Amino acid sequence: MILNLLKGTVLAFLTTLGTAGNTFVFISHVLMFGGAEKKATHLILIHLAFTHIIMLLSKGMPSTIAAFGVRHFLDDTGCKVVCYLERVARGLSICTSSLLTVVQAFTVSPSHSRCRRPRSAWFILLLFPFLWIFNFLTNLTLLVYIRSTSENTSQISTSDYYCSFQPENQKVRWIILGTMAFRDAVSQGVMCGASGYMVLLLHQHHQRVLQLRSSKVLCKTPAEVKAAQSVLLLMLCFLLFYWADCVCNLLISMVENNLIINVREFLTLGYAILSPFVLIHRDGHVAACHFPQRESGAFRRYLLPAAFQ
């Protein structure tokens, strides 16, 4: 009982904290996008924060209520809606994070490279309906197999205390899981490729900075470089939480352990909770290069000849 109260309190605190952080990121980037300079990354971060808010509300709140000992507070329809939204939001989070990495890689790519930036930030809006439709269709079969735990407790296969997943047979279960795994694998493959490309560009930028160490020029990290570093840190957080969640799922499939199940619940929400604070912290440190006015033009052409101008 005490452990359940502790779990519920921690879940309530983290869910509230994560929702507040994502709301702050959402509002701040809406205001940034409404300014003079409209960037594609602003739209993507708005979309990412919005999907994380949906994920926290559809997963964090029911888990908190269940942790406090309330059972069967959702009927069959409520379970379908809540679990479906949580799965769709999770898929959108993965796809949006992958899109953010690709767009940021385009942003810092050299002007002479084959990677071209989107001509307009509004072009990104055309991708969002596709992502929503794709994730709605990918998770559509879940509506058939999600049940409330009050419907038939004798046939529960996998339960979150308030809802259960009851596929008719193992073949259907593996088809659903295989489709989700394919989506995640493609998204992470694209994410890792774009991240590797950014790491290479940042390494080249670092080498140029080292060449100017002996000069009197004072340089802070360019805003584009800071943004790329923020995205890389965000992707690292995502991968850590994602693969930790996968390991917990594997352990749960082999042995039912309440500790592992509870840890998995926190890991599922970890990226949605932590990501806004990574962005808030990094955005507070974004700065452009500062140098003597006489040398500004020559320095910028030397230090940032192609990739970051």
pLDDT exceeds cutoff 80 at 215? no
Total domains, the chain: 1
Indicate whether 308 belongs to any domain. no
250 in any annotated domain: yes
Identify the pLDDT of residue 299.
32
How is the chain split among helix, strand and coil, in percent rounded to 5?
75, 5, 25
Q: How far apart are the first and last CA of the chain?
A: 59
- Residue 87's domain spans which residues? 2-303
pLDDT in tens, 113-142: 555 555 566 778 888 999 999 999 888 877
On whether residue 152 sits in a domain, the answer given is yes
Per-residue pLDDT tens over the stretch 192-209 = 888 888 888 777 766 666
Residue at 109 is within a domain: yes
Supply the CATH number for residue 212's domain.
Answer: 1.20.1070.10
In-domain check, residue 150? yes
Pick from 72-86, 97-111, 144-158, 209-223 the range whose average pLDDT is largest. Answer: 72-86
Res 259 pLDDT > 90? no
Name the average pLDDT for the chain. 77
What is the tens place of the pLDDT at every residue in 11-52? 999 999 999 999 999 999 898 887 766 788 889 999 999 999
pTM: 0.81
- Parallel, antiparallel, or unpaired: how do β-strands 158-159 and 163-165 relate? antiparallel
- pLDDT band, very low/low/confident/very high, at 180 (cuts 50, 70, 90): confident
Residue 309 lies in a domain: no
Backbone angles phi, psi at 6, to 5 degrees: -65, -45
